Structure 1
Amino acid sequence: MKKYYFLMPLLAVLLCGAQSFALVRVPPIISSGMVLQQNAKATLWGWADASERFTVVSSWKTTADEVTAAPGGKWKVQIETPPAGGPYTITIKGRGNTVVLDNILIGEVWLCSGQSNMEMSGTKQIRDILPTSANDKIRFFNVAKATSEYPQEFADGKWMACNEESLRRFSAVAYFFGREINKELNVPVGLIQSAWSGTPIELWEPQSIIDSDPDMVKASKTIKTVTYRPDKPGLIYNSMIAPIINYTIAGTLWYQGEGNVPRAYAYEKMLTGMIADWRKNNGNEFPFYIVQIAPFSGYEQPVDAALLMEQQTRTLKYPKTGMVVITDLVDDLKSQHPVDKLTVGQRLAKLALADTYKKPIPVAEYRNPLYNHMEIKKDKVNLYFDYAPNGFMLKGDAKQATEFMIAGADQKFVPADVVKLEKHSIVVSSKAVPDPVAVRFSFTNIAMSNLFNKEGLPVNPFRTDDWK
């Protein structure tokens, strides 16, 4: 029998190879404890053997979903989800293993992205509620920071229920938004945070989007190299958006812009280009809601912030977008980070409740007054607005609306002497400008006007000119 001993190692290798299969795997965002979008075709994806056939069994369904991996091993399937509820289980039965995902909730899922004001956590408003914050119907997934030259398939993170420990490290704005959605709709809410302090928008979209327009190319070449973030287009998109872009969501919250103030001229193109790309790769025309940047005294030129705000406002012409204005929430003009994240989250939630979830909320309660057009009558300018059907009001001690500037053909702006609030318009004039041609409102870095619509929302900064 000794003469057959030399065959035994070879036989062992052959037997092992014959029974060795690649394991069915899923990315971290597809895991136990996740929240899936309700009443949708929720996308699941992962990796398996080349062309492997397997089943996905969802505990809320009576039939299994059949899946076949691509020749390269990747697989993706859309599963019908029921109305909000849970917990449920998904069982993925592969040839070589079984993956069981349990404690799954079905509800509303939102991606929350941007720079430091989105990332900010542990604020006093958060610390005050930590002891009573536990809520298993609100869950967080925080995408780990990473960079890459090429689109990645894996982003680290873990689904966690809201509690004192998890909330301490999660976005304050996102949480306050999610808490309102959970309360008003009475459904589970999943919040995906993908944010990085100090990042310009170019880092959050593919290089190909930037390269599609000369203004975007020009602007991207002026990104400063610093130690606390990457400095090239696409580097964060590749590692913090691309790996999760398949996940089915209700919408996106975007709180960013400070990092692009020095090159505001390209921001509208960059933002709408990013929105289009994210929607295309997600396969869903989801709503996209923006937080306008806040007044800040530290920008180099006097109207730098206003120019970026103007670009953000122009984005509202893009389908299924919305914006909240926060010029009234600044506590310190020397800081880019207003501490009141509660009101920001509440305003975003009211916008979503009305615009996405079709709750019967008057439009002036969730859309800030926007300049529409003007009429010049001798030495006066009549200004007309959207989203102020009941007129305007002042807050504070001032007897007249502040931050209005008026100019003639010489393009020299002076403060308006008279600002008259009428129900359907605002009339401004100045003795120093007998023949006015242009008006600006809150069009500086530090403007914090006392002018609101009757519903209590601040008027959006604007200008009627396009002068350099």
Structure 2
Amino acid sequence: MILTNLGSPFVYGQTTSPLQPEQYLRVSSVLQNHMVVQQNKPFKVWGHGPVGASISIKADWMPSAIQVVCDNQGAFEGIITVPKAKTGDYTPHHIIVRYGNQIIQLNDLLIGDVWFLSGQSNMQFAVHEMLDSTNTIASANPHIRLLNVALNFSASPIDSISGTWKRCSPASVRDFSAVGYSFGNKIQRELDIPVGLVFSGIGASAVQAFVPEAVLQKDTMLNRVYLSPYLSSPKSKEKIDAGFSFEKVTRPFLLYNALIHPFIRLSIKGVCWYQGATNYKDRKSFTQATIALIKSWRKAFQQGDLPFNFVQIAPYAHGKMDPTIAGDGFFREAQHHILRLNNTHMVVTMDVGSPENLHPKDKKPVGERLAATALNRTYGRLNEPYLGPEFDYVRFTGDTATVHFLPATTSGGLTTRDAKAPAFFYLAGSDRVFHPATATIRANTVVIYAKEVTRPVAVRYAFFNYPVTNLQNGAGFPALPFRTDNWPEKPENY
């Protein structure tokens, strides 16, 4: 009997006698035709068959098959080696999994890099919704493979998914993540190897939804803020199904169980993450939850300190065009604190947002900045710029302040994208009242003055909800928002 894996579900061939379900050979729904197999890493092939059955696994690049045995639950897992991807090589490969006369053949596999994409609506935001979508769709990159994972929830970890690996084409790319595709397209064109992109996330979701229950339980703060309130509520007693609701995607651990856990045996290159808007009123708990998320995913995937590149939230006014409301400034600061964890990197979007739109359409720069980050930090292309100007220190002299930036972040010098003076600098004196300031670029510094502040003691840059900024370096990367004070946040910040 031949069982051909066409994605999900399987199409089974004819047999001479009926088989019971437990007699069928099956492989994980994650493993399908048209997928990209992660290069230069051990690759797991897993599934189910009859208890005690000997399973043969062979890829066409292997000299001989390996044999594994199904355990007392009928589960098997084999690990095969994968060669390094060759530049310009898009040769289709196959893997054959065999038990007796039952065969599953995974066809049209490419050897390259697989990146896992997750988060909420700004990562889910589709190619057909982005700026210049017509040209992006028409020029869909055929050397990329895409997997859009269907929404699901589970009260306990599961191993299966719904969704089909597809060749990238105008038809398949239009509904894929715009940020994710823009990222993968730049990576593929720069490296000239196949790229596989998996999107497994959902709009409006909260960070705690992607963290395992046991991890939340062991952390005192996360247990108190996120887990215990849910477990003590009637919601935790409900039967869980795949249906969407804005409340449901904020429940702790359900999305981890259904959207992340099925992939933990899949070899990947790294993770791109865009989430935060749902948690915008959180501070320490958000930082701690995101760090817990990263650590728990790395532990589950068992592939070392996987690169984790994430996006800082874009400017958004929350319906209040008031520059004294700084809640999102403090939230972006909380996101920046995630960087204390090794091999994490943050992309800034302060120049490509829209104060009136929580879902700005200019997604290509976001994806390409994620790609520049990966090219520099993961692929070792150290001449690839990926950072915008980042605050180093400030000197106060009389009624002016001179802001200095970290030298490594001022590639090509300081400039503005609109040739105007830098916007959104603010000065405060000892009264802690911030006033708009004029700013002038001098070499790699910005000199700031506000007539209302005769003796400034603090500077803030783009440190409120919705500033769409213009300050950048010569490489075109925007400056990070910052503050020089450590004054407590005001309760009326939203």
Distance 2:310 2:173 in 1: 22
Q: Which residue of 1 aligns with 2:370?
A: 348
* Structure 2 residue matching 1:263: 3-state secondary structure: coil
Structure 1 residues 60-69 or 234-243, which shifts more? Answer: 60-69
Q: Which residue of 1 aligns with 2:63?
A: 62
What is the CA distance between 1:20 and its match in structure 2?
A: 9.3
Distance 1:432 1:314 in 2: 32
Whichever residue aligns with residue 251 of structure 1, its letter is G
Matched, 1:272 2:283: no
Q: Which residue of 1 aligns with 2:9?
A: none
- From the superposition, tell whether residues 411 and 233 of structure 1 become closer, same or farther in structure 2 (CA, over 3 Å): same
Structure 1 residues 269-278 or 305-314, which shifts more? Answer: 305-314
Distance 2:390 2:471 in 1: 12
Contact kept, 8 Å, 1:305 with 1:445, in 2: the verdict is yes
What is the CA distance between 1:238 and its match in structure 2?
A: 0.5
* Structure 1 residue matching 2:293: 3-state secondary structure: helix
- From the superposition, tell whether residues 174 and 195 of structure 1 become closer, same or farther in structure 2 (CA, over 3 Å): same
Whichever residue aligns with residue 39 of structure 2, its letter is Q
Contact kept, 8 Å, 1:51 with 1:73, in 2: the verdict is yes
Distance 1:209 1:407 in 2: 42
The one of 405, 430, 442 aligned to 1:409: 430
Q: Which residue of 2 aligns with 1:428?
A: 448
Distance 1:346 1:383 in 2: 28
Distance 2:451 2:331 in 1: 31
Structure 1 residues 449-458 or 292-301, which shifts more? Answer: 292-301
Matched, 1:320 2:340: no
Matched, 1:227 2:249: no
Matched, 1:205 2:211: yes
Distance 1:133 1:152 in 2: 36
What is the CA distance between 1:107 and its match in structure 2?
A: 0.6
Q: Which residue of 2 aligns with 1:283?
A: 302
Distance 1:72 1:360 in 2: 48
Which runs of structure 2 are paired with 1:65-214 in the superposition (5 Å)? 65-84=66-85, 85=89, 86-95=91-100, 97-121=102-126, 122-125=128-131, 127-129=133-135, 132-214=138-220
Whichever residue aligns with residue 283 of structure 2, its letter is A
What is the CA distance between 1:183 and its match in structure 2?
A: 1.1
Q: Which residue of 2 aligns with 1:33?
A: 34
Whichever residue aligns with residue 268 of structure 1, its letter is T
Distance 1:131 1:173 in 2: 13
Matched, 1:237 2:238: no
Distance 1:217 1:448 in 2: 36
Whichever residue aligns with residue 90 of structure 1, its letter is I
Contact kept, 8 Å, 1:380 with 1:428, in 2: the verdict is yes
Count how many residue pairs are aligned between Structure 1 and Structure 2: 448
- From the superposition, tell whether residues 98 and 410 of structure 1 become closer, same or farther in structure 2 (CA, over 3 Å): same
Whichever residue aligns with residue 439 of structure 1, its letter is V
CA-to-partner distance for each residue in 1:75-94, whole Å, 9 max, x for gaps? 22321111224311111112
* Structure 2 residue matching 1:220: 3-state secondary structure: helix
- From the superposition, tell whether residues 335 and 47 of structure 1 become closer, same or farther in structure 2 (CA, over 3 Å): same
Distance 1:359 1:75 in 2: 39
- From the superposition, tell whether residues 214 and 19 of structure 1 become closer, same or farther in structure 2 (CA, over 3 Å): closer
Whichever residue aligns with residue 101 of structure 1, its letter is L
Q: Could you tell me the TM-score, scaled by structure 1's length?
A: 0.89
What is the CA distance between 1:423 and its match in structure 2?
A: 2.9
Contact kept, 8 Å, 1:390 with 1:424, in 2: the verdict is no
CA-to-partner distance for each residue in 1:38-97, whole Å, 9 max, x for gaps? 111122222223343322111001122222333332222321111224311111112462
What is the CA distance between 1:126 and its match in structure 2?
A: 6.0
CA-to-partner distance for each residue in 1:368-400, whole Å, 9 max, x for gaps? 2222233344444332222115431123253x3
Matched, 1:307 2:343: no
Q: Which residue of 1 aligns with 2:473?
A: 453
Q: Which residue of 2 aligns with 1:292?
A: 312
Contact kept, 8 Å, 1:88 with 1:103, in 2: the verdict is yes
Whichever residue aligns with residue 62 of structure 1, its letter is P
Q: Could you tell me the TM-score, scaled by structure 2's length?
A: 0.84
- From the superposition, tell whether residues 97 and 202 of structure 1 become closer, same or farther in structure 2 (CA, over 3 Å): same
Distance 1:280 1:64 in 2: 29
Distance 1:254 1:120 in 2: 13
Report percent identity of matched pairs.
32
Unaligned runs of 5+ in 1: 1-15
Contact kept, 8 Å, 2:137 with 2:173, in 1: the verdict is no
Unaligned runs of 5+ in 2: 1-16, 236-243, 489-494
Matched, 1:262 2:274: no
- From the superposition, tell whether residues 410 and 143 of structure 1 become closer, same or farther in structure 2 (CA, over 3 Å): same
What is the CA distance between 1:114 and its match in structure 2?
A: 0.8
Whichever residue aligns with residue 404 of structure 1, its letter is F
Distance 1:194 1:376 in 2: 48
